[in-house]
């Protein structure tokens, strides 16, 4: 019969390694039409990082995300970036872009100060304008300021910056230290149905609570978490590279290396736990890889809750689960006095 | 060589190809319609899905000659001249695709479903897309996007309302 169970798993995950140099550099250029151009060496792989990086530049400059054009991943022209790896892009590259935008903004403020007859420190950038703090009606458009900076002051509003999470060497004796700049946390709960006659598992629902600092783009955070969960489900129940004695993979294609399809995916509830990390750009940390870390553990705990067996090797195939159920039943029969 | 004449995205096109040429190879290499993706080439991943006489098929498993005289729709023919197909529009707005490699096949499988069933359940959608593998998204936003597109296509006014909701405060 089909038995239901629930399992829970928690995780933390490091963001921004510090044992080696881990820099990102960026250039932000404010144009005379009030738009901005960002140059970054990082690459978009579909996760939406360029959208998030554009949003960070826009937030720093007081313009709309649509006003920002991001040029990326052209080693001829874009500044160095350690890469779209280790869930570091929002955090490390984002910090570099925020700082570069702040540097460009400083030039805008120095230009706008005399235009508005205040000190640059009394200015803020909002709604595509440079305005006096507390007196938003005293303002001038960012495009106009950018043009004045270029042709009046001879200082085009261009900022460049790099950011490297402070490198801290490990203690050579103990191997201990501060290996990462910050950490993210998550809890996932899986609800499963296990057929105790076949060992087959159906994942019914996964609820995922993730702290990624400030979620700069919540829709993209959800996309990362949902995608991670599908990988976690494959890891838990389906995916396994099989090798023969000669070390050749015997399932090198999608006919027999089985990954989740749309029919294998349960209902997913993503719960973004808003947090603020003072070291991240506008409080953000990261979300990519962490999304799949707790999934398999939650599912295996749910299987235990449903049928009382602990599976300790992945994937938890029907064969393994049924064998464990049979062993458990045999053990229970032995304990009954004759 | 085999002579093949098919109507691709509304235009009649002909080619003379070796008989073992697949429809996928014809579309990509001869007609230069590279929106249709070559994934596994053995019918497992669905990245090469196109519509042949309205039915979703894996173009890697169909010979070009088998498509002779038939209507083929590829991703290049899904959008109207001046606007995206409602499926493309919703996919774009809702972040339904990430790397996008599965996108052309996913969209055409979804179109075949909606042409046949304008009001599919979540399970109908999952069933229709089960042959299109996606490694990025977990399918959640794809399934929701197909539901949203179906709603918009059933009642065009709904789409206008949604547009207002999404862009009214710009």
**CB distance B55 to B128 below 8 Å:** no
- Asked whether residue B163 falls in the same domain as residue B90, the answer is yes
Alpha carbon of B83: minimum distance to chain A alpha carbons (Å) = 20
ipTM: 0.93
**Is A229:A208 a contact under the CB 8 Å cutoff?**
yes
Where is the domain boundary, A133, A163, A193? Answer: A163
* Beta-bridge mates of residue B49: B58
Listed residue (B117, B122, B115) closest to B147, CA to CA: B122
Residue A94 has pLDDT above 70, yes or no: yes
**Is the Cβ pair A262, B129 closer than 8 Å?**
yes
Binary contact (A231, B127; C-beta < 8 A): no
**Of the candidates B39, B49, B139, which has an alpha carbon nearest to the alpha carbon of residue A253?**
B39
Asked if residue A126 and residue A21 are part of one domain, the reply reads yes
DSSP A81-125: B--S-TT-IIIIIHHHHHHHHHHHHHHHHHHHHHHHTS-GGGEEE
* Interatomic CA distance for residues A319 and A3, integer angstroms: 17
Residues 260-279 of chain A with CB under 8 A from chain B are: 260-263, 265, 268
Q: Which of A101, A99, A92, A98 is nearest to A285 (CA)?
A: A92
Q: What is the CATH number of the domain that holds B51?
A: 3.10.20.30
Helices and strands of chain A, counted as H and E runs: 6, 11
Do residue A108 and residue A202 come from a single domain? no
Shortest CA distance from B124: residue in chain A = A263
CB contact under 8 A, B136 and A220: no
Count interface pairs A-B at CB distance under 8 A.
Answer: 79
**Does residue A235 have a pLDDT over 50?**
yes
Measure the CA–CA gap between A179 and A174, rounded to whole angstroms: 13
Domain range for A58: 17-163
pLDDT of B6 over the 90 cut: yes
Q: Give the orientation angle of helix A94-116 with respect to helix A49-61, to 10 degrees.
A: 20
CA dihedral A278, A284, A290, A292 (to 10 degrees): 150
Q: Do B29 and B90 sit in the same domain of this protein?
A: no
Q: What is the DSSP string of A176-245?
A: -S--EEEEEEEEEEEEEEEETTT--EEEEEEEEEEE-BS-SSHHHHHHHHHHHHHHHHIIIII----B-T
Is residue B95 domain-shared with residue B73, that is, in the same domain?
no
Distance CA A159, CA A103 (A): 5
Within this chain, do residues B98 and B155 fall inside the same structural domain, yes or no?
yes
Can you tell me the distance from the alpha carbon of A140 to that of A81, in angstroms, rounded to the nearest whole number?
Answer: 34
CB proximity A256 to B under 8 Å = no
Cα gap B15→B3, rounded to integer Å:
6
Tokens of A316: 């938890």
The answer to whether residues A55 and A108 touch, using CB atoms and an 8 Å cutoff, is no
Q: How many residues does chain B have?
A: 170
pLDDT at position B79? 95
Does residue A168 sit within a domain? no
CB B88 within 8 A of CB B107: yes
Tell me, what's the pLDDT at B82?
Answer: 86
- Domain extent for B145: 86-167
| DSSP strand pairing (B55-58 vs B49-52) | antiparallel
Answer whether A286 touches B (CB < 8 Å): no
Q: Most A CBs within 10 Å: which of B140, B143, B146, B147, as the mutation test of the A interface?
A: B140
Measured between CA atoms, the residue of chain B closest to residue A269 is B140
Domain co-membership, B102 together with B64: no
Mark whether A58 and A94 lie in a shared domain: yes
For B43-93, how does the pLDDT look when each residue is reduced to its tens digit (9 = 90+)?
Answer: 999 999 999 999 999 999 999 999 999 999 999 999 988 899 999 999 999
Count of domains forming chain B: 2
Q: What percent of chain B has pLDDT over 90?
A: 89
Reply yes or no on whether the pLDDT at B168 is more than 80.
no
Which positions ≥6 away from A159 have C-beta within 8 Å? Answer: A27, A28, A29, A99, A100, A101, A102, A103, A104, A105, A106, A107
Catalytic residues of A: 289
| Span A115-133, average pLDDT | 98
The number of domains in chain A is 2
pLDDT tens for each residue of A28-68: 999 999 999 999 999 999 999 999 999 999 999 999 999 99
Question: Among the three residues A110, A134, A163, which one is the final residue of a domain in this structure?
Answer: A163
pLDDT above 70: percentage of residues in chain A: 99
Query: Chain B contact for A215, CB < 8 A?
Result: no
Mutate to test the interface with B, among A55, A262, A265, A269 (most CBs of B within 10 A): A262
Tokens 């085009």 belong to residue: A156
Domain-terminating residue out of A163, A198, A224: A163
Whether residues B10 and B72 share a domain: the answer is yes
Residue of B125, B126, B138 lying closest to A226 (CB–CB): B138
Average pLDDT of chain A is 96
CATH number of the domain encompassing residue A304: 3.30.365.10
Length of chain A: 338
Is A189 in the same domain as A157?
no
Residues B8 and B58 in one domain: yes
- Say how far apart CA B94 and CA A287 lie, in whole Å: 18
CATH number at residue B118: 1.10.150.120
Residues A33 and A8 reside in one and the same domain: no
CA dist., res. A19 & res. B16, Å (int) = 60
């Amino acid at each position: 019969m089909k038995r239901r169970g629930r399992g829970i798993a928690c995780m933390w995950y490091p963001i921004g390694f510090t044992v080696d140099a881990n820099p990102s550099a960026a250039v932000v250029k404010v144009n005379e039409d009030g738009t901005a151009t960002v140059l970054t060496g990082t690459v978009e792989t579909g996760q939406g990082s360029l959208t998030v990086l554009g949003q960070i530049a826009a937030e720093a400059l007081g313009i709309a995300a649509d006003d920002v054009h991001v040029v990326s991943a052209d080693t001829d022209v874009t500044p160095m970036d350690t890469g779209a790896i280790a869930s570091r892009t929002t955090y490390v590259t984002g910090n570099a872009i925020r700082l570069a935008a702040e540097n460009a903004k400083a030039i805008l403020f120095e230009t706008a100060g005399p235009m508005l007859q205040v000190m640059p420190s009394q200015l803020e950038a909002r709604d595509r304008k440079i305005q006096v703090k507390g007196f938003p009606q005293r303002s001038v458009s960012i495009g106009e300021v950018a043009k004045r900076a270029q042709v009046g002051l001879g200082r085009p509003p261009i900022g460049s910056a790099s950011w490297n999470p402070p490198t801290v060497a490990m203690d050579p004796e103990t191997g201990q230290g501060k290996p990462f700049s910050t950490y993210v946390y998550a809890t996932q709960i899986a609800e499963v149905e296990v057929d105790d006659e076949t060992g087959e598992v159906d994942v019914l629902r996964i609820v995922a609570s993730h702290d990624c600092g400030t979620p700069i783009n919540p829709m993209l955070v959800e996309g990362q978490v949902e995608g991670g969960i599908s990988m976690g489900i494959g890891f838990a129940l389906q995916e396994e590279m099989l090798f023969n004695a000669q070390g050749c993979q015997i399932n090198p294609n999608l006919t027999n290396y089985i990954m989740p399809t749309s029919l294998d995916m349960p209902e997913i509830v993503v719960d973004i736990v808003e947090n603020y990390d003072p070291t991240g750009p506008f409080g953000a940390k990261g979300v990519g890889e962490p999304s799949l870390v707790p999934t398999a553990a939650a599912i295996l705990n749910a299987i235990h809750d449903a049928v009382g067996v602990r599976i300790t090797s992945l994937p938890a195939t029907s064969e393994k689960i049924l064998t464990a159920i049979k062993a458990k039943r045999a053990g229970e029969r032995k304990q009954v006095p004759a | 060589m085999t002579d093949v004449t098919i109507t691709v995205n509304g235009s009649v096109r002909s080619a003379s190809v070796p008989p073992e040429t697949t429809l996928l190879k014809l579309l990509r290499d001869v007609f230069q319609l590279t929106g249709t993706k070559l994934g596994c080439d053995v019918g497992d991943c669905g990245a090469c899905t196109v519509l042949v006489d309205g039915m979703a098929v894996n173009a890697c498993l169909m010979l070009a000659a088998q498509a002779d005289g038939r209507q083929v729709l590829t991703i290049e023919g899904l959008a109207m001249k001046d606007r995206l197909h409602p499926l493309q529009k919703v996919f774009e707005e809702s972040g339904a695709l990430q790397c996008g490699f599965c996108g052309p096949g996913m969209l055409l499988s979804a179109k075949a479903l909606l042409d046949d069933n304008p009001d599919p359940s979540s399970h109908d959608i999952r069933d229709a897309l089960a042959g299109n593998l996606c490694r990025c998204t977990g399918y959640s936003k794809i399934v929701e996007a197909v539901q949203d597109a179906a709603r918009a296509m059933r009642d065009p006014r709904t789409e206008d309302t949604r547009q207002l909701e999404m862009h009214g405060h710009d």
